[in-house]
Amino acid sequence: MRTRAPRTIHVCTACGAEHAKWAGQCATCGAWNALVEADAPRASRSPAPRAGAASAMRLAEVSASATPRLATGMPELDFVLGGGIVPGSLVLVGGEPGIGKSTLLLQATALVQAAGATVLYVSGEESPLQVKLRAERLREDAGAVQILGETMLERILEVAERTRPGVLVIDSIQTIATDGVEGAPGNVGQVRECAARLMRYAKATGVAVLLVGHVTKDGGIAGPKTLEHMVDTVLYFEGEGRGDHRVLRATKNRFGSVDEIAVFRMTTVGLVPIANPSSLFLGDRNARASGSAVTALIEGTRPLLVEVQALASKAGFGTPQRVATGFDTRRLALLLAVLDKRAGLSFAQLDVFVNVVGGLRMVEPAGDLAIATALASSVYDRALPSGAVCIGEIGLGGELDRRLAEAEQLGFDCAFVAEGNADRPRGRGTMRVREMRDIAALFRALFVDAGA
């Protein structure tokens, strides 16, 4: 008896659309070279629903649940989540290998277990012994956490039905497979089907499910884009391999504010939350060195002071280099053109290097003034005043007060801002706020008039 080979489809990794045939471009979203082959899901053998079984109701008739959030015991993690773990939610945690995803979740689940909630930790990559060895190095006691080494989704859900955990951790979703889809664990069909079944399990039982996700070489979470659409919250763990601090960023959150961040320090006993990230990023700053400037950014609802370092040196050969770490190189080219045209600073024969300290990525326009000022400081070889902070976004609105308050709290006494913000309330304190009409006026005040 011959068995028919499973039918294959082609799934777009950018938008999740399914296509019967492979093509160079996705007809749905237009992405190029994004279609990958996957096995079609098997037809469901469950009986068809009876006609009229489903019913609708008014939104006002839906009973609101008063179930409180589960506090993880780590205030910074709770802050990013919007106040804690929501029962019945599906949370995806992504990050580069070795960044600390498993360590963070093991610490959090140990504290949740100690608070009285049952935790089931499913490890598909490591054996229970390996997880125990890592847990013994942590400050938190994870001995009561239930551990399961399994990769088949059906057996995982069977154990979860017996143990009835309050939190279920899957480490990682790319190692889990189900019998309902052909193919190896980690392919598009397996990841999508496993995530969908875990989502239905979470919504039906009220169990909070935390998924660990691998990332691709481009920094995105591996698997179909629909994986991020399915989950309720997406957290990215970021950090430099050479540094000891990590940044946890929420890029999607149905139960709280998006773009919130939490900062941790990696130690021998695990991840330690940093309550005041500004002091961490400015702790090693040399205030008398040229090419250094401080700006105040807003990450979610939190003001954050960050140091920007710049170096402009004579080009040794050929075309001058433009190297930026933590800053968009196209934005840097725009700032260099403005400095050349408006401030008379030419970088045509200079190599330019820009670094945002701490491994952060600066995307807010408020940091443009600090970048330009640090570059000018390097050209003039003159350090900025030790208590100066540069905020260069026009039309800051109410966020300006929080930036200045954060800078004043850390000892800064002078702020350079764009013109048009003088009539805004400053709150209490003695910080001097100096408005600059343009970039040339700022450089005259910092490097020409101050030198004279």
198 falls in which pLDDT band (50, 70, 90)?
A: very high
For residue 58, pLDDT over 80 is answered with yes
The model's confidence at residue 18, banded by pLDDT at 50, 70 and 90, is confident
Write 271-276 long-range contacts (CB < 8 A, 24+): 271/100, 271/103, 271/104, 271/107, 271/246, 273/74, 273/75, 273/76, 273/77, 274/76, 274/245, 275/75, 275/76
**Predicted pLDDT at 283:** 59
Is the model's pLDDT at 369 over the cut of 60? yes
Confidence of residue 157 (pLDDT cuts 50, 70, 90): very high
Per-residue pLDDT, 360: 80
What pLDDT is attached to residue 398? 44
Q: What are phi and psi of 384, to 5 degrees?
A: -75, 160
> Using 50, 70 and 90 to split pLDDT, how confident is the model at 206?
very high
Asked which of 79-83, 86-90, 421-425 is least confident by mean pLDDT, the reply is 421-425
Q: What is the DSSP code (8-state) at residue 5?
A: P
Is the confidence at residue 187, as pLDDT, over 80? yes
Tokens 């966020």, residue located: 399
395, pLDDT greater than 50: no
Q: Would you say the CATH fold of 279-448 matches that of 68-275?
A: no
| Rounded average pLDDT over 45-58 | 61
Q: Which residues contact 49 (CB under 8 A, 6 or more apart)?
A: none
- List strands edge to edge, sheet with 261-267: 146-148, 119-123, 167-171, 208-213, 90-95, 233-238, 245-253, 261-267, 270-274
Residue 18: beta bridge partners? 11
Q: What is the DSSP letter of 215?
A: B
Q: Where are the alpha helices (DSSP H) in 255-398?
A: 277-281, 329-342, 368-380
pLDDT-derived band at 66, boundaries 50, 70, 90: low
Token pair belonging to 356: 């945002």
Q: What is the CATH number of domain 279-448?
A: 3.30.230.10
Q: Is the pLDDT of residue 394 over 50?
A: no
Q: 118-122, 158-162, 268-272, 430-434: which range is least confident on average? A: 430-434
**Residue 227 has what pLDDT?**
87
The reported pLDDT for the residue numbered 65 is 62
Pairing label, strands 292-299, 302-314 = antiparallel
pLDDT the model gives residue 194: 93
Question: CA triplet 7, 10, 11: central angle to 5 degrees?
Answer: 125
When pLDDT is averaged across residues 184-213 and rounded to a whole number, the result is 92
What Cα–Cα distance (Å) separates residue 278 from each residue in 29, 305, 411? 40, 5, 12
d(CA 370, CA 1): 73
Residues of 230-251 as b/e, b for ≥16 C-beta within 10 angstroms?
bbbbbbbbbbeeeeebbbbbbe
Res 207: pLDDT: 95
CA-closest candidate to residue 71, choices 86, 84, 90: 84
Question: For residue 52, what pLDDT is reported?
Answer: 52
pLDDT of residue 235: 94
d(CA 334, CA 409) in angstroms, rounded, equals 33
Cα 52 from chain centroid (whole Å): 44
CA–chain centroid gap for 173, Å, is: 18
Write down the pLDDT at residue 317. Answer: 79
pLDDT interval class at 233 (50, 70, 90): very high
Question: Residue 8 pLDDT more than 60?
Answer: yes
The answer to whether 370 touches 270, Cβ cutoff 8 Å, is no
Please give the C-alpha separations between residue 112 and each of 109, 329, 371, 435, in angstroms, as whole numbers: 5, 43, 43, 49
Instruction: Check pLDDT > 80 for residue 281.
Output: no
b vs e for 81-116, b when ≥16 Cβ sit within 10 Å of the residue's Cβ? Answer: bbebbbbbbbbbbbbbeebbbbbbbbbbbbbbbbee
> 261 is written with which tokens?
């961040």
Average pLDDT, the chain: 83
The yes-or-no verdict on residue 95 having pLDDT over 80 is yes
pLDDT above 70 covers a percentage of the chain that reads 85
DSSP letters for 87-137: TT-EEEEEE-TTSSHHHHHHHHHHHHHHTT--EEEEESSS-HHHHHHHHHT
Is 0.95 surpassed by the pTM of this model? Answer: no
- Lowest average pLDDT, out of 49-53, 181-185, 348-352, goes to 49-53
Per-residue pLDDT at 427 = 46
Report how far Cα 359 is from the mean position of its chain's Cα atoms: 12
Q: What is the Cα–Cα distance from 348 to 369, expressed in whole angstroms?
A: 20
Distance CA 328, CA 364 (A): 11
What is the band of 50 on the pLDDT scale with cuts at 50, 70, 90?
Answer: low
How far apart are the C-alpha atoms of 210 and 105, rounded to whole Å? 8
Rounded Cα distance between 385 and 434, Å, is 13
Facing residues of 231 across strands?
Answer: none
Dump pLDDT digits (tens) for 311-360: 999 988 788 999 999 899 999 998 998 888 888 889 999 999 999 987 78
Domain ranges (residues) in the chain: 8-38, 68-275, 279-448
pLDDT at 301 over 70: yes
Residue appearing with tokens 């551990």: 147
Task: Classify 223 as helix, strand or coil.
Answer: coil
- Local confidence band at 48 (pLDDT 50, 70, 90 cut-offs): very low
User: 3-state class of 157 per DSSP?
Assistant: helix
Distance CA 71, CA 84 (A): 5
* 119-123 and 35-39 strand pairing: unpaired
Measuring CA to CA, how many Å separate 74 from each of 145, 181, 232, 329?
17, 38, 20, 36
Please give the share of the chain, as a percent, with pLDDT higher than 90.
Answer: 40
pLDDT for 218 equals 64
Q: Which fold has domain 68-275?
A: Rossmann fold (3.40.50)
